[in-house]
Structure 1
Amino acid sequence: ASMTLWGLKPVAPLTSFCLYLESNRRSFCLYLEPNRRSFCLYLESNRRSFCLYLESNRRSFCLYLESNRRSFCLYLESNRRSFCLYLESNRRSFCLYLESNRRSFCLFLEPNRRSFCLYLEPNGRSLH
């Protein structure tokens, strides 16, 4: 029989709050610790996972789609920022990378072996 479970449980010396739904295979978890915070949302029924992670030093936002082999990831850190889009089914990858000292924009197409790269730097620009 399917059942739904709601849980709120404090644990010393840290505090943990968890919500779990079993009937539809969806779990929502909130975790609080003195050094870091983690917020995760995971959807299992359609093989899609949405995760949000917050830490004292960095922030990570990730979206992953498994059914169609497409992954979308966003990563934020104190020193750099990275935005990546990757498509596996058609072998095409689109990546955007931002860093504190430089900016890099890259587009790569695999089937025809053509690569298009744009690189921006504080002192100069280059286009390939």
Structure 2
Amino acid sequence: MNVLSKSELVIAKILERLIENGLRESELNFKDLGLPEEFGNFFFQCVDWLRAEGFIRYTNLQRFVDSTASGYVLNPVLTSLGMHMLGNTVEIGQKSVSVAKAVSKVISGKVDYNRVGNAIGGILGGFTKSIGS
């Protein structure tokens, strides 16, 4: 798995957790994602990217110096833009699925990650470009 694929998986796991939590107070840390330690270096960068793109917001981010993935994100939630993006559809094989369902399928291992990872990366990138223009 290359670096971009690892980033996309971390993003998918973060989005999955935020979908589960809805709009309630919560705390998110890397361990909540259930990924191996090798993905830890991507956690805060992916959170920052999702926030910079306007897909999520949070009250506070606390990153500890002792470790790359040590810390937490306080009250992370999807923005209306993030919810809209998850409702968009992507083509996987010959089927049209919502980004939210694609995220779930990637995480559950029901679909080949590379195919869906590219689709999720494409929809995130394409949606960001369309919003910017």
Q: TM-score, normalised by structure 2?
A: 0.18
Larger radius of gyration: 1
Structure 1 or 2: more helix by fraction: 2
Query: Which protein has greater RCO, CA pairs closer than 8 Å, 6+ apart?
Result: 2
Q: TM-score, normalised by structure 1?
A: 0.19
